[in-house]
Structure 1
Amino acid sequence: MKITKVDAIQIEDKPADQPGWRPIVCRVYTDTGLYGDGEAAIAYGVGSTAAYGMIQDLAKLIIGMNPLDTEVIWEKLYKSTFWAQNGGPIVFAGISALDIALWDIKGKYFNVPVYQLLGGKMRDKLRCYASQLQFGWGERKTPAYQIEDYVANAKKAVSEGYDAIKIDFFTFDPKGYRYSSEETTRVLDPYHVHVVIDRLAAVREAVGPDVDIIMENHSYIDAQVAVQLGEQAKKYNILFFEEPTTPNPKMNKFVCDKLNIPIAQGERIYSRWGYAPYFEDGSIQLIQPDIGNCGGLTEAKKICDLAHIYDVGVQAHVCASPLSTAVALQLEAAIPNFTIHEHHVYNRYDYNKKLCKYDYQPVDGYITVPDLPGIGNELTDYCFTNGKVTTIE
């Protein structure tokens, strides 16, 4: 079996409430008729067009190779492209997209779900948390500005059966605008401390003691502010303090040493070499590798196994198309150190759902692992008719 061509796809249809949302996906074809789909998880922020180009560049190197040789292909993409070694999000996103597609093909070839190829399914259902409630918890983005907005969103998620939620309490100012970096770094004045902590306190009171709260920060704050807020947040029993500062081992260690709160990091850490310092210094308790930008399934499984050596839990970062949801479920089903699954509010939006054939949504706070061959999802025709497609043969 040989790889015959690769379609790199940049979704062109921009949602009105999320103009920067641009998923980058691919389809890898073989001479047997089997194909696999993958994703470069750079759907937001700056870099999607670069990831689109990276897939095209890397695809040229795998034409004619056996798609079952995932380890061989990964090493080739990492070692023969110069910039991949010690690379960042774009090069690893390109590798990830192709690697995921190859695992999809491998599962279809052997007619088993990918979790079976990763060692077997350790669990049928995964506990989920409702993620990023500062954007609302509905079918479109509704930014939370007032305390009552945060309370309403939390109660809505809990009413649907979730017993864990995640909120960035420091994304929006009560006056109705998004905070800038100038306002969220260096030691905070009392007003801004109260903005964050009053929101957290209100949500804790609303959901009660039996619902886990993950306090998200997106690395918007620096290490000093992370300690300042973390000290105040302790009494509200947060499950994890996520991205409390820039993804840097020394800064993360500074925060970890100052606070007795579990730290989560990972959506902007790439490859096993990027994760190793955090494991070695004990500054991370939950890793959040994004399979679509950390190196694909081949690399993500190694990262999770390395974390297991240090008793570090895993929650795959999921914020892209439903392809990324499906592949995360495959990995999380198979690893012993799985902790919880992220169900991002973007998974509830129609403009995201229509990109893939299957729509996996939690029921009563748990999501079922797909048993279809491969990763368990595939792109719809919409992606090809409403996306910019470049074919590499």
Structure 2
Amino acid sequence: MERKDINEMMQEHVNTYSSPSDLKITDMRVANIDGAPKHCPLIKIYTNQGIVGFGEVRDASSATYALMLKSRLLGENPLNVDKLFRRIKQFGGHSRQGGGVSGIEIALWDIAGKAWGVPLWQLLGGKFRDKVRMYCDTDVDGKHTGTDMGHALKKRMEKGFTFLKMDLGIELMLDEPGCLNAPLGFLEDIKKYSMKAINHQKGSVDRDMMLGKNYETFTIPHHATGIHLTQKGMDFLENYVKEVRDVIGYEVPLAIDHFGHINIEDCILFARRLEKYNIAWIEDIAPWHYTSHYVKIANSCSVPICTGEDIYLAKNFKPLLSSGGVSVVHPDVLTVGGAMEMKKLGNLCDKYGTAMAVHMAESPVACMAAIHCAAAVQNVLAVEFHSSDVTWWNDLAVGIDNPLIQNGFVNVPNKPGLGIDSLNEELIAQHLHEKYPGQWEPTEEWNNEWSNDREWS
């Protein structure tokens, strides 16, 4: 057999799929899916060499946050991720407003990984782990007991999950007499809003919910609602937690979310009751930007305090971290600003001795981004998974492990970019949001938007 020339052998291992220096962004399009577990706007960024980057806007958000940035990206080399991020980051904001910038940043890294033939975690500096622990958020529909929730969580454990989370808060007691103290009629408004919110998540957008009285009622910050837990209410919630622990035991970590918009004094009183139930953390019990509230709560109980899914940019975590107001930060890669901001936040967590648990309630696109970030950040507890009951979720992305979660972990992929070969277009078509039925339709109306974007004179 004739021996191959050394140059020929080297060429077999060189990525010739693209000429990176000549890459240009040519288009951006979206598809809005629903029920995965929420409304998830997916992004594709196209290039002149056929490489397509996958991204996603934060769950329960709007694709407009990404599309408005299209004109700032067209014609640019997508591999200049930092340059483009600095150009568009002024248009991001906290919570869902960070979704456009963050989703685009992820799509740019996906293109960069594909162009250079390396996974995203390598572009972030390498990995600390080969598999990432997932924690499973769990819901139980309708009126139920802690025992019911315990059995639902037990099923998650039987699937292999080693870390759990559940909701616990005032909505469990809206129909329980004597458990809540509030201005008369206020709780009825919350119940109306809650039902409309449920309908909205199922795709029925209610204009009254978006603009009406009930929405305004529900967006009053915790300390200004006037809602208090009575002793009966605290007994009710504590018994709920006890029933859960009676089913699942005390060995598995259990985190708590959605306590409700109540004052910090009641949060402290109830957190003290939770101390004997080995709670991993209690989440978002005050608006994240009230640092002094978090410090007061953290200094008054021994239950770990967590927040952060609505914080945009790593630097905005500094007040909470430096003050000791949280034991766990909870960023979402699609709000914080994308993968590099997650890496920066991880470094801040190391500096201040704070753990990280990654929020993720989106499609496999966001999930894979979170997995790469979690692999590249040193002190990560786990990444959230909120779609255990969505049977078609895993099939949305072609080329990832299926099942993706095995024995409570996801194997960190070594494939280029996010590790997704393609998206399942037929499945996306079956789950398009009823209010946004277009699937990767042209978006030329966003091509030429211009403003003097400079933030200084």
Structure 1-normalised TM-score?
A: 0.86
Cα separation, 1, equivalents of 2:306 and 2:332: 13
Q: Structure 1 residue aligned with 2:236, among 195, 202, 211?
A: 195
- C-alpha distance after superposition, 1:261-289 (max 9, x if no partner): 21111111111232111111011121111
Instruction: Determine helix, strand or coil for the equivalent of 2:31.
Output: strand
- Identical aligned pairs, as a percentage? 25
User: Unaligned 5+ residue runs, structure 2?
Assistant: 1-22, 177-187, 195-217, 448-457
The answer to whether structure 1 residue 290 and structure 2 residue 332 are counterparts is yes
Instruction: Determine helix, strand or coil for the equivalent of 2:32.
Output: strand
Determine the structure 2 residue equivalent to 1:210. 251
Amino acid at match of 2:63: Y
Determine the structure 1 residue equivalent to 2:423. 379
Cα separation, 2, equivalents of 1:146 and 1:68: 52
Matches within 5 A, 1:245-256: 245-248=286-289, 249-256=291-298
Determine the structure 2 residue equivalent to 1:164. 163
Determine the structure 2 residue equivalent to 1:8. 30
CA contact (8 A) 1:126 1:340 kept: yes
The answer to whether structure 1 residue 299 and structure 2 residue 341 are counterparts is yes
Q: Structure 1 residue aligned with 2:285, among 232, 244, 251?
A: 244
Cα separation, 2, equivalents of 1:360 and 1:250: 43
CA contact (8 A) 2:136 2:388 kept: no
| Alpha-carbon distance, 1:90 to partner | 4.1
Range moving further from structure 2, 375-384 or 90-99? 375-384
- C-alpha distance after superposition, 1:211-241 (max 9, x if no partner): 1111222654432231121011011111112
Determine the structure 1 residue equivalent to 2:323. 281
Q: Structure 2 residue aligned with 1:308, among 344, 350, 357?
A: 350
CA contact (8 A) 2:29 2:44 kept: yes
User: Unaligned 5+ residue runs, structure 1?
Assistant: 137-141
Determine the structure 1 residue equivalent to 2:18. none
- C-alpha distance after superposition, 1:85-131 (max 9, x if no partner): xx333442110111110011111111111111111121111222221
Matches within 5 A, 1:126-141: 126-131=132-137, 133=138, 135-136=139-140
Cα separation, 1, equivalents of 2:258 and 2:117: 41
The answer to whether structure 1 residue 146 and structure 2 residue 139 are counterparts is no
Determine the structure 2 residue equivalent to 1:231. 272
Q: Structure 2 residue aligned with 1:391, among 432, 436, 443?
A: 443
Instruction: Determine helix, strand or coil for the equivalent of 2:380.
Output: coil
Amino acid at match of 2:423: L
| Alpha-carbon distance, 1:185 to partner | 6.0
| Alpha-carbon distance, 1:355 to partner | 3.5
Determine the structure 1 residue equivalent to 2:385. 343
Q: Quick one: structure 1 residues 185 and 239, their matched pair in 2 at CA, closer, same or farther if it must change by over 3 Å?
A: farther
Instruction: Determine helix, strand or coil for the equivalent of 2:27.
Output: strand
| Alpha-carbon distance, 1:354 to partner | 4.6
Amino acid at match of 2:156: A
| Alpha-carbon distance, 1:190 to partner | 2.4
Instruction: Determine helix, strand or coil for the equivalent of 1:268.
Output: coil
Cα separation, 2, equivalents of 1:150 and 1:127: 22
CA contact (8 A) 2:311 2:317 kept: yes
CA contact (8 A) 1:4 1:31 kept: yes
Determine the structure 2 residue equivalent to 1:139. none
| Alpha-carbon distance, 1:9 to partner | 2.6
Matches within 5 A, 1:355-374: 355-357=396-398, 358=400, 359=402, 361-374=404-417
Q: Quick one: structure 1 residues 8 and 162, their matched pair in 2 at CA, closer, same or farther if it must change by over 3 Å?
A: closer
Q: Quick one: structure 1 residues 72 and 347, their matched pair in 2 at CA, closer, same or farther if it must change by over 3 Å?
A: farther
| Alpha-carbon distance, 1:384 to partner | 6.2
| Alpha-carbon distance, 1:291 to partner | 0.6
| Alpha-carbon distance, 1:3 to partner | 0.6
Cα separation, 2, equivalents of 1:266 and 1:218: 15
Range moving further from structure 2, 89-98 or 278-287? 89-98
Q: Structure 1 residue aligned with 2:79, among 61, 68, 77?
A: 68
The runs of at least 4 aligned residues of structure 1 exceeding 3 Å deviation read 171-186, 218-222, 350-355, 358-361, 382-387
CA contact (8 A) 1:27 1:38 kept: yes
Q: Quick one: structure 1 residues 163 and 221, their matched pair in 2 at CA, closer, same or farther if it must change by over 3 Å?
A: farther
| Alpha-carbon distance, 1:209 to partner | 2.3
Rg larger in structure:
2
Instruction: Determine helix, strand or coil for the equivalent of 2:397.
Output: coil
CA contact (8 A) 1:145 1:173 kept: no
CA-atom RMSD, angstroms?
A: 2.6
| Alpha-carbon distance, 1:34 to partner | 0.6
Structure 2-normalised TM-score?
A: 0.74
Q: Quick one: structure 1 residues 29 and 223, their matched pair in 2 at CA, closer, same or farther if it must change by over 3 Å?
A: same
CA contact (8 A) 2:304 2:327 kept: yes
Q: Structure 2 residue aligned with 1:32, among 49, 58, 71?
A: 49
